[in-house]
Structure formats: structure tokens, C-alpha cells
Amino acid sequence: MNGWNGKILEIDLTKQTHKESPLDIEMAKQFIGGRGLGARLLWDLVGPDVDPLSPENVLIFTNGPLTATGYQTSNRFSVTTKSPLTGTVLDANSGGYWGMQFKKTGYDVLIVRGKAEKPVWIEIKNSEVTFHDASELWGMRVFALTEKLGQNNNKRNVLCIGPAGENLSRIAAIMNDRERAAARGGPGAVMGSKNLKAIVVEGSTRPEIMDKERYKFLMYETKKLLAASPLTSQALPEFGTVVLMNIMNNIGALATRNHQQTQFEGAEAISGEELTEKYLVKNQSCWACPIGCTRISKTEKVEGEGPEFESTWAFGAQCGIDDLPAIIEVNALCNDLGLDTISAGSTIACAMELSEKGYLDSDLRFGRADQLAPTVEAMAYRRDIGTELADGSLRLATKYGHPELSMTAKGMEMPAYDPRGLQGQGLLYATSNRGGCHMRGNMIGLEVLGLPKLIDRFQVQGKSAFVILNQNSNAAIDSLVICKFTNMGVADEYFARVLGAVTGIPYATGELIKVGERVWNLERLYNNREGFTSKNDSLPPRLLTEAPTDGPSKGWVSQLEPMLKEYYRTRGWDENGVPTPKKLAELGLENLL
């Protein structure tokens, strides 16, 4: 078998047993790996009767046929589960080294089910699986634990949860390689609910490549294209993802103070330029990545990875804070505690607004950098005010009678890009299968950066087609699994050809995108089965009714309703947002119903 290893490892934590089963190759052809394969397996394994934090929920770790081949950014893995934050299908993926090492154990998929009686950690060395007592490790933070379990980037890699996951925070991340995170939607809480502290992998299997000459040529061309793109060869290596801060602020699409404004007067102070000039030690790469967007930053108190743009925004503009050292430090703290930075920052911002308006009795206030670290600590350990913030902004705002102040879609906190200044991005958030997310399709390329070409960000008619193509393309890339930043320099046609060269199965570009469409529709079916309807394809009322009073997006609100109607029609769904039998048959999904 080329590309895929052909094997699934299943672990039952309740019984402390494991078994190996063959990968269904027909399923693999249809869903490739990563997010797609995870969604397909979850469909069979976890139904609507299962509580996300019960032993019946599963964690499905997947890699893809390109993983560990050495193709640019082929280091990632995906984890799929039912989200404890949103109740939707969830996949979160992460870079670094763990995904590559996991593939080298000889498995394509790891399914973890049940619940251990007491804390355990698992060690997988090729096909050898060992359960270890983790009683003494329970309570440890991520950095110390990662070191204790023997992290060695190219040889032995540690994936774990921190205190946030142990305490079942619904915004807890799964961390790997110390500071990489599969963060969104609370997969760390699922791991915590199973009493599973860590998974350590060591492997020596390298995937087989069918057409080595063709693969070598495509690697060579990809290298050239990534070097030729100013985004992947200059902007991201030099400034990291925070390069977007000033760009988004300048166009009036930087959500500020819990989305009360679309421009932040302190943006320059928390920009990529500022980070590079004053706090950057060096940049760093994941395995097999020539881009190197990772920041190693240093303040008087911490030195470590990050912060990314979204984290800087969440604790910065969204909280009205322009203190970059404080943001760097709270980002590091989230990594150490195992918390999703976007949801953590945006939940604090929600609490700040609730408090300022007198709905919540707390001293949290916009602009108070000194409150960030103590609040995040309290969230991870469920102490004091943190008890309520630990489960995200929607549960918090609902409890205090103002759910409209939660800046979420399907219960997940949205990232930095304000939909009032980016019509397509708003539609994307509203229709995202895992909730408010910028990684399930990204309109910033088209609406802001001009990738592949610039379109009018305020245009409404026809916007759904772009959103859908992006969603399908992203689902395909997530199923490969590679880093989406490669897509800033390399088009989908290369990925299809690389997939063909590695597996020996010809995939035309259109077929690869069709895989993405299949994955998207399957995820939608899953959510529909969970009870989600078109009513859940929504945005916070603020974004639909409160137009910015100044700046480049002045007077605009999200025109969601007409875009959504067009979106359903374009997707081949009925007016209630349900995939039609015709569409399901076209995608080979008709047998699932």
C-alpha cells in the first residue's frame, strides 16, 4: 500500500486493551485521511445519544497519505470527536512533529474509547502499546510533562492535556510537542473525561511512495512556488501570522472589544512589526516546512512559541488591550495550561462587556492587561470567576441573561475577522460545521489578500460560491493533512498530483475538491443528526444589526440572510439547509441515511 499504512489502532481505556484492524481502502479513497476519514468514522461510532464528555464519546487521531513523506508541511494530524463546546462534529488539527511520528508507528488512525478507572498515559512504539499509570502526572502542566515524558522532536513526541483538560473546561486544548495545539472546540476536555493524560509516539516506519520521480518533481515545484510567494517566503517567516493585525485594522475588519468596534486604536502596538522588532528571538518551523511562521518570543517573564495572530487578537483587540508583553505571557500560559487561546480571550472579552454593563458582578474591564493571566489561571482550574468562564462565552452569557453578547457561531468563539467588513467571512462563520472558525474555509485570501485574485469584500451576490469552494478546498487539505499556508503559494492542482504520485491513485484536481465537498456534506449530515438546523447557521445579533459608525466598514452589517439562501441553493441543499438526496447520491453518501 502506498501513502497509507493500511492499519487502524483501537484502544479501549475502560478495559485497558488494544487491537489492530485494517483500514478500509475504499473508505480511504473517498475520504483520504485526517478530517475526512475522522468524520466518516465518527459517523459510525458516535450517535446523537452520546454526551461528549461520557466514555461513549471517542477520540479519533488521524494522519493522511502524505504525512511523513517529507512533502512540504506533511507533519500534521487531526483529532476528531463530538465537541463538548458546541455539540457538533469536531476536528482540530495541529502541526509540529507528533503527526509525523504517529504515522511512523505504522498506523493511519488511532481510536480511543471508554474511560480509564484512574489516570493513564499511553506509549506507542511502532506496534507496541503500553498503558502507564499517570496518577502522579495528573495535575502537571504541559511544558513540564512534555519534558518528563521524553519529548525529542525527531524521535519521540508527546501529546497531552494540561489542567484545563483535566478540569473538563469545554475550551481545553490537546497539546503536542510542547506548544502546538489542537485547540478549538474542547478536545482536551474529551481527553480529560477519559482520564487520559498523554499519548507518546515513537516509530520507524516510513510511508511508501508509488511514483518517486513524479513526487520528486512536484516537491521541487512546490519548493519553488513557496519561495516565489511573498506571503510564504517573506511575510510569514518575518512577521508570523500577526502580520495580519495592521492589515485587518486598516480595512476596518478587526473585531474590537467583543465586536463593539471594527478598528482598534492600539493595533500598531500589538502588530507583527512590533512583535518582530521587540520580542522575537527567532522563527521556527514544523517538520518538513520551509515557511517557518512560528515565532519564538521572549519577554522578561517567558520565552516560547507564539503568539499567533488570532491569540494576539483575542487577548489584544478583543479585550481592548495593547500590552504586547502581557499578551505573549498569557499566550504561553494558555499553552502550559492547555487552553484554546481564541475561545479563552473572547470569553474574557465577553465577561468584560457583561461586567461593564452591570450584568455580571466582577471587576473585569476592557483594557486591563493585569487581569489576563489570573483569569486564565482561574479558568483552567475552575476557580472563582473562572468556573463560569471555563465553558466558553455562550454558556456564560446565557447564564447572565444576555446570550447576544457571546460572539459565537454554533457556540464557538469567532476569530478576529469582523463579518461586517468581510461579507464572505461572515457567511463562512455562520455555515462552518464546527462553529465560528476561520480554518474551515478562509475568505481572507480572496477578500483581503487577493489570493488568487481580489474580490469585493462587500459584494453579497455570488459570494456563496466562493465560500463553498473555499470550504470544500479546505476540507480536502485538512484530509490530506497538510498546512493551509502552503495553499498561499501552491494551488490545489499540485496537491491532487502529489496525492496521485504518492498513492498511485490518480486524483484530478476536481476530484480532490469533490472529496472536500463529500466531507463537508457528511459533517453537515452529522450535525443535522445531532439536531442542528438552519436556525443554527447564524451570527450574533450585533453583527446583523449594529453597523460601525466610523472607519472603512462604516454603515455595513452582515448581509447573512440573502447569502445564506444562495448558499443552500448552491450547495444543493433544501431551503432548511438539509442536503438533498440528489446531492448525497452525487457524493456517494446516500447509504448513510
Partner 1 sequence: MIDPRIYEMFREIGEDLFTAQLISSHGGNLSIRLGDRVIIKRRGAQLGRLKPHDLIETRLDKNDSNVVLASTELLVHRAIYLNTPALAVCHCHPRTAVAFSFSRDELVPIDNEASYLLKKIPVVTEEFASGTPQMANKVAEALKNYKIIMLRGHGSFATGQTLDEAFHWSTCLEESCQMELAAKIINEPFIEYRGMSGSYSQF
Q: Give residues in contact with partner 1 (CB under 8 A).
A: 213-214, 216-217, 220-221, 224-225, 228, 446, 452-456, 459-462, 464-466, 469, 472-473, 491-493, 496-497, 508-511, 513, 566-567, 569-570, 572
Strand partners, 296: 282, 305
What is the C-alpha to C-alpha distance for residues 483 and 532, in angstroms, rounded to an integer? 29
Minimum distance, C-beta of residue 173 to partner 1, in the bound complex (Å): 33
CB 416 within 8 A of CB 441: no
Give the Å distances, CA to CA, from 292 to 176, 481, 519. 18, 18, 29
CB 556 within 8 A of CB 545: no
CB 519 within 8 A of CB 475: yes
What is the C-alpha to C-alpha distance for residues 327 and 272, in angstroms, rounded to an integer? 13
Strand partners, 181: 175
Cβ distance to partner 1 smaller for residue 510 or 588: 510
Minimum distance, C-beta of residue 461 to partner 1, in the bound complex (Å): 4
Q: How far is CA 223 from the centre of its chain?
A: 25
Minimum distance, C-beta of residue 568 to partner 1, in the bound complex (Å): 9
Cβ distance to partner 1 smaller for residue 406 or 559: 559
Minimum distance, C-beta of residue 575 to partner 1, in the bound complex (Å): 13
Give the Å distances, CA to CA, from 30 to 63, 109, 484. 15, 15, 21
Contacts of 110 (CB under 8 A, 6+ apart): 8, 9, 10, 11, 60, 61, 62, 102, 124, 199
Minimum distance, C-beta of residue 416 to partner 1, in the bound complex (Å): 23
CB 514 within 8 A of CB 587: yes
Cβ distance to partner 1 smaller for residue 170 or 484: 484
Helix, coil or strand: residue 400 = coil
Minimum distance, C-beta of residue 571 to partner 1, in the bound complex (Å): 8
DSSP-derived pairing of the beta strands 294-298 and 109-113: unpaired
Cβ distance to partner 1 smaller for residue 453 or 535: 453
Cβ distance to partner 1 smaller for residue 157 or 470: 470
DSSP-derived pairing of the beta strands 109-113 and 59-62: antiparallel
DSSP-derived pairing of the beta strands 7-12 and 109-113: parallel
Cβ distance to partner 1 smaller for residue 206 or 565: 565
Cis amide leading into 452 (omega within 30): yes
Minimum distance, C-beta of residue 511 to partner 1, in the bound complex (Å): 8
Compute the Cα dihedral for 79, 451, 547, 569 and give only its sign: negative
Cβ distance to partner 1 smaller for residue 203 or 445: 445
Cβ distance to partner 1 smaller for residue 11 or 513: 513
CB 163 within 8 A of CB 377: no
Minimum distance, C-beta of residue 476 to partner 1, in the bound complex (Å): 10
Minimum distance, C-beta of residue 425 to partner 1, in the bound complex (Å): 16
Cβ distance to partner 1 smaller for residue 268 or 456: 456
Cβ distance to partner 1 smaller for residue 51 or 575: 575
User: What's 242's DSSP letter?
Assistant: G
Minimum distance, C-beta of residue 462 to partner 1, in the bound complex (Å): 4
CB 579 within 8 A of CB 520: no
